[in-house]
Structures are given as C-alpha cells and as structure tokens.
Amino acid sequence: MTLSEFEIKRIEKLFNHFCDRRVPEQYRDQIRVEFRIRDADVELFESRPLYSDPSTWVSTRIARFRKSPGNGNWIVYWADRNAQWKRYEPCAPHRDIEALLQVVEEDAIGTFWG
C-alpha cells in the first residue's frame, strides 16, 4: 500500500513542522530530527555527526508510523536497543497520524526520547 499524493503532502507539512520545532536552528549542525516516507510508512529518526568523523552523520531510529491497509488506521512503533521495531502498546491505532505524532512528542513513559 502506498499513500496518496494528498496524504504525502499533509505528512510532509506535519513532520517538517515537528522536526523544525524539535531542534532549534542554531543546533542543527549538531543534531537533527528527520523523517522519511516509504510506501505506507513514515520513519522518524535523530541524526548526529559521527564523533570520529564529523562529516559523517549517523541516524538513530525514534518512531515508525505505519498505515494499515485493511482499515486505514495508523499504528506507531518504537525501536528497541537492537534497532528492531516493536509496536507501542500503550497507544491504540488511530485514523489520524497527527494524534500519534503527539503521543511520540509527549513520550509519557520515556520510550521514544529516553
């Protein structure tokens, strides 16, 4: 399943705004919060320069949002210590990805941001 052009534009606007708010501009040479869209997935990750080679950036997975092809609900996942995706059980699937992005931002139990 792929997302419609309308959904992609909405997600790009929503996630660009989120990423811009998350890290002030003056620190973006040290840390960035970024996203990528692939098929029916949106992956949120944090990037930092590699200590031994600051010209190389490394990324750490934060959250994945996946749209279910059956009912159109979004499900949020978190990355464990081995960078494997696990469903974030405290949050039920939701029709609106924005509601799930808010759950990740609030991070009530420290799963996404530590």
Model pLDDT, residue 2:
82
Q: Are 8 and 40 in contact (CB under 8 A)?
A: no
Instruction: Outline where DSSP puts E strands in 2-114.
Output: 32-38, 41-50, 53-67, 74-79, 85-87
Q: Say if residues 14 and 53 touch (Cβ distance below 8 Å).
A: no
The pLDDT tens digits of the residues spanning 38-97 come to 999 999 999 999 999 999 999 999 999 999 988 999 999 999 999 899 999 999 999 999
Where do the structural domains in the chain lie, given as residue ranges? 5-106
β-sheet bridge partners, residue 79? 85
Measured distance CA(111)–CA(80) in Å, rounded: 9
- What pTM did the predictor assign? 0.92
